[in-house]
Amino acid sequence: MESASTARHANERVENSPENDLLLRQVTMRAAMAFENHNASLVSFHYPTSSNRPSIDIAPFHLYRVGDKERRIEGLKRLNYRPLLLQNWVLLTHIAIILGWTGFLIFLLFRARPLRGNPFTLDGYLWGYISTGIRFLAQQQSVNLGKIMPYCSMASSPEDRGGAKTVTADYYPYDWPVPRFRLWRNGHRFYFLTELSTFLSTFALVQFSSNILRGVWGGDDFLGYLPNKGIVYIVIACNAVLLLSTVSTFLWLCTHDTGLFAEPGSLAFLIGMLQNSNVLDDFSDMDRDCSAHEMRKRLKGNYYSIGYFRRSSGSNIVYTIGIADDDLTPKTRMNPGSQNGGDAPRTPSLQQPGFLPWFLSPLCVTLWIGLAIAALSVALTLLVHDSILDQGFPPHAPTRASPVLQMSAAGFLWSFVPAYVADLYRLLWKNTDLFYRIVQPYADLRSPRPAEESSLMLNYTACLPVVITLKAAWNGHWKIALVSLLSFLSSFTTSLAANMFYLDWFSDHQHGPVYPWIVVNRIPFLIMTAYFGIIAIAFSILMPDRKRRLPHDIETLADHISLLCRSSLRGWEAFSLGSAMKKPREDNFRGKWLGKLKAANPLDLFRDGEYERAVKGKLAEESNGDPGCENTEVALGVFKHEDNTWHMGIDSRGKLEFLIDGPHRGQSLWKRFVRRK
């Protein structure tokens, strides 16, 4: 009865074209026979009409969907893991900070008497740093939401997903402050609105917050600080948009499961997740120079699911990315892979020394260094002229305050422009840091003798700014430690740059009335001068080396899968997710709360995840028990498989013929392979 209902259900989902009707009925009947035999392995069917058409792979999977009553299987973890900055207590803390800051701004609007107090508190630094913290949490929440969005889409039902692209979505990498309209095109409209609101509200939040107060003078006496009401209204509006975005994110996460039970950042977790997948043939030919547009075109119409799957035998539950039996249609199972039948790989269409993001290309790096040198030259010029540094200089701009913002063009020029320059380099350091975090496992795999624990287990993308610096230094990754430290320190430069100069008024008893003048804050000015000098030196030293120039982009989940789809590592028992997806036993109330306190250990921030530590232990046991296992090296390169086909990816050197360890300068990986052939 199960096979007959499955066949009828599959027949209803196929297109009723006359030329394919007989062919599809044959495929459906063979699928039903596979269900009757309780075959738990991957069954491959081919079109009988033509030998050069792609294959259709059918696996007898049943998926426990998010909306099903059986989605919470007894003894297994709920698939709703969230990164740290998306957990409920972090979101509620962020909401409380925004409400408190907004309440203080409203209090300023109704205060008539000038404020007196510490200059650090009232001169703009403290307000700028409060907004810096709010902006950091908002942008990190947006980035982490994009990180889990492909998994959330695969965890939802096909009706909710619609035509959204999942494994080809590059939402997580690189956080430039521009709205990404492809989110709306892909169907993720909530995420698009969230990111757009974050972009609009944080674009100038720190710059405006650093100028909410202005000094008031009565003759030669300083009376205190009064609010710039126009700027205060702008900051309140930005906070209102951020508050709406954060509350919406909190409510959305409360009503949607992420499809994950652990942090998905490490290669070991991805290998374990792909051990039982039935969709790997879709990615088997994407290891070559496949552009993002071509990749999306090949996988168009494929609806993948993530979650707990049960084989047709009913005894084996696995966690993987796959296509369940009720999703099987010829459209979704078309394999766009290679058709060369095991011949030598073709010459790629793109011949390049290696992939780098656009902001780390040689031309852009030259531009960043040039801008830093120009800013450093201006700062050194002011340092050389001691009279300018000590006594200030004319504003060289209109000083009449606007009736709306209560701020002059001179104040905008000497406060907002330096802050925007510092903000540009903050974004540059932040995205450079993210690039180094993502590619570090692959860079280790291209080293002469990479070790499993220093490559497959790495998960730097989930670490907080200070934690990543200490953890990378402990692991010997000094470039990541230095880049992450500079990225963290650059977060404070926007407020410093906004307060380097300020407009003041002086009276000259010899020459007449009061006149405007630009005053230089010495300490912020010296700090920013040293900062731009460090930028010019650091970008010359920290350019990505050869091992970080990967054969192609790895911004999407499909890019990672293409490097692991034919790897023999998926057969290693050490990477099995069987024990990791089980719930820990909690015998009583006391054991439950002790488990929560143990899970909240601060030292875990500096350690690998629970699954990664378990894999390390299993690999160590296998190395001690198998004398030949200790000589097995894992690398990123071109491997020759048992069927005489070549594949570029991550695999073991000891079990397959390893050809190339990476491209030389001026050569792509496949170009060097073709020349060697």
Write out 294-359 in H/E/C secondary structure. HHHHHCCCCCCEEEEEEECCCCCEEEEEECCHHHCCCCCCCCCCCCCCCCCCCCCCCCCCCECCHH
The 8 Å CB, 24+ separation contacts for 81-84 are: 81/258, 81/260, 81/261, 81/262, 81/263, 82/148, 82/253, 82/258, 83/144, 83/147, 83/148, 83/263, 83/462, 84/462, 84/464
Coil, strand, or helix at residue 538? helix
Whether the per-residue pLDDT at 135 is higher than 80: the answer is yes
Cβ atoms < 10 Å from Cβ of 122: 18
Most confident residue range from 269-278, 396-405, 614-623:
269-278
pLDDT of residue 79: 83
Q: What is the mean pLDDT of the chain?
A: 72
Place 659 in a pLDDT band, splitting at 50, 70 and 90. Answer: low
- 592-597: average pLDDT: 47
Domain spans of the chain? Answer: 1-76+305-335, 86-261, 356-548
Place 252 in a pLDDT band, splitting at 50, 70 and 90. Answer: very high
pLDDT of residue 605: 53
Place 661 in a pLDDT band, splitting at 50, 70 and 90. Answer: very low
pLDDT of residue 314: 56
Beta bridge pairs of residue 649:
637
H/E element, 640:
strand 634-640
Q: How far apart are CA 240 and CA 228, in angstroms?
A: 18
Phi, psi of 43 (to 5 degrees): -105, 130
Top pLDDT among 359 and 48 is at 359
CA distances from 202 to 133, 236, 246, 415, 431 (A): 11, 12, 13, 17, 17
H/E element, 507:
strand 501-507
- 648-675: average pLDDT: 53
Q: How far apart are CA 371 and CA 446, in angstroms?
A: 33
pLDDT of residue 131: 92
DSSP label at residue 548 = G
pLDDT of residue 93: 95
Does residue 192 contact residue 181 with C-beta atoms inside 8 Å? yes
Place 86 in a pLDDT band, splitting at 50, 70 and 90. Answer: very high
pLDDT of residue 454: 65
Q: Considering only CA atoms, which of 277, 628, 262 is closest in space to residue 457?
A: 262
Least confident of 452-456, 603-607, 634-638: 603-607
Angle at CA of residue 547, ends 543 and 552, nearest 5°: 95
- The tokens of 24 are what? 């599809």
Top pLDDT among 151 and 450 is at 151
pLDDT of residue 178: 72
- 537-566: average pLDDT: 81
- 579-584: average pLDDT: 65
pLDDT digits (tens, 9 = 90+) for 40-74: 333 333 323 323 323 333 344 666 554 444 445 56
pLDDT of residue 503: 77
Q: How many CA atoms lie within 13 A of 624 on its CB side?
A: 6
- 661-669: average pLDDT: 40
Place 622 in a pLDDT band, splitting at 50, 70 and 90. Answer: low
Whether the per-residue pLDDT at 246 is higher than 70: the answer is yes
Sign of CA dihedral 129, 135, 140, 141: positive
pLDDT of residue 567: 85
DSSP label at residue 393 = B
Place 386 in a pLDDT band, splitting at 50, 70 and 90. Answer: low
Whether the per-residue pLDDT at 90 is higher than 90: the answer is yes
Least confident of 99-113, 328-342, 579-593: 328-342
- 549-557: average pLDDT: 78
- The tokens of 205 are what? 């939040």
- Residue 587: left (phi > 0), alpha (psi -120 to 50), or beta? alpha
E strand segments, 420-477? none
First to last CA, the chain: 54
Coil, strand, or helix at residue 28? helix
pLDDT of residue 483: 92
Phi, psi of 590 (to 5 degrees): -65, -40
- The tokens of 169 are what? 């979505």
Whether the per-residue pLDDT at 553 is higher than 80: the answer is no
Least confident of 3-7, 113-117, 400-404: 3-7
- Residues of the chain above pLDDT 90, percent: 13
Q: How far apart are CA 468 and CA 257, in angstroms?
A: 28
Top pLDDT among 527 and 663 is at 527
pLDDT of residue 581: 66
Top pLDDT among 217 and 496 is at 496
pLDDT digits (tens, 9 = 90+) for 390-428: 777 888 878 777 777 777 888 888 888 899 999 999 989
CB environment 68-95: b (16+ within 10 A), e (fewer): eeebeeeebbebbbbbebbeeebbeebb
Sign of CA dihedral 592, 598, 601, 603: negative
pLDDT of residue 606: 53
